[in-house]
């Protein structure tokens, strides 16, 4: 007579996965509990206030020229990306870029690519100093 070893399948396919899943479910329910310790509340409040303080320190009123120059200094190289990031209209951005180029704040480079010429904008030392001063 063959011994019945079907209980082994029960252990492998039911009990072991349940032993891993049940603690996770219990942890999630405990995390949803609104009672937090005082230290966690203090840490969370200081953590949330910190970016606001930093943002207030660096958020000086900027002209549109400085806004565009900042985008170029951050590494945005194409007209379309600057247009998208700043929210300016095309003609306005074009005049601002011409003004920045005339004042030697940015330099314009044309590169040959597979799909034609590509125009990239780079900040000059003067533009870098002007933006960060």
Evaluate whether residue 81 is within a structural domain.
Answer: yes
The domain of 95 spans: 64-132
Q: What is the pLDDT of residue 72?
A: 92
Evaluate whether residue 84 is within a structural domain.
Answer: yes
Q: Could you tell me the CATH number of the domain that includes residue 74? A: 1.10.10.10
The count of structural domains within the chain is: 1
Q: What is the pLDDT of residue 43?
A: 54
10 phi-psi bin (left φ>0, alpha ψ -120 to 50, beta other):
alpha
106 in Cβ contact with 127 (< 8 Å): yes
Evaluate whether residue 24 is within a structural domain.
Answer: no
Query: Is the pTM value of this prediction over 0.75?
Result: no
pLDDT tens string for the chain (133 positions)? 456 777 777 777 777 778 888 888 888 887 765 555 545 555 555 555 555 444 444 554 478 889 999 999 999 999 999 999 888 899 999 999 999 999 999 999 998 878 888 899 999 999 888 888 8
Q: What is the pLDDT of residue 9?
A: 74
Task: List CB contacts of 96: < 8 A, sequence separation 6 or more.
Answer: 64, 65, 68, 88
Q: What is the pLDDT of residue 99?
A: 94
Q: What is the pLDDT of residue 82?
A: 92
Evaluate whether residue 46 is within a structural domain.
Answer: no
Evaluate whether residue 124 is within a structural domain.
Answer: yes
What are 99-108's pLDDT values in tens digits?
999 999 999 9
């Amino acid at each position: 007579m063959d011994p019945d070893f079907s209980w082994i399948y029960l252990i492998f396919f039911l009990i072991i996965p349940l032993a891993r899943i049940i603690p996770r479910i219990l942890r999630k329910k405990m995390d949803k509990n609104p009672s937090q310790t005082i230290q966690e509340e203090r840490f969370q409040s200081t953590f949330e206030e910190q970016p606001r303080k930093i943002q207030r320190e660096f958020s000086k009123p900027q002209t549109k020229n400085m806004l565009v120059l900042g985008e170029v200094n951050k590494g945005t190289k194409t007209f379309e990306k600057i247009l998208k990031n700043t929210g300016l209209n095309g003609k306005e951005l074009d005049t601002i870029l011409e003004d920045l180029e005339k004042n030697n704040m940015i330099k314009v480079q044309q590169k040959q690519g597979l799909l034609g010429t590509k125009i990239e904008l780079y900040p000059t030392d003067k533009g870098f100093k002007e933006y960060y001063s």
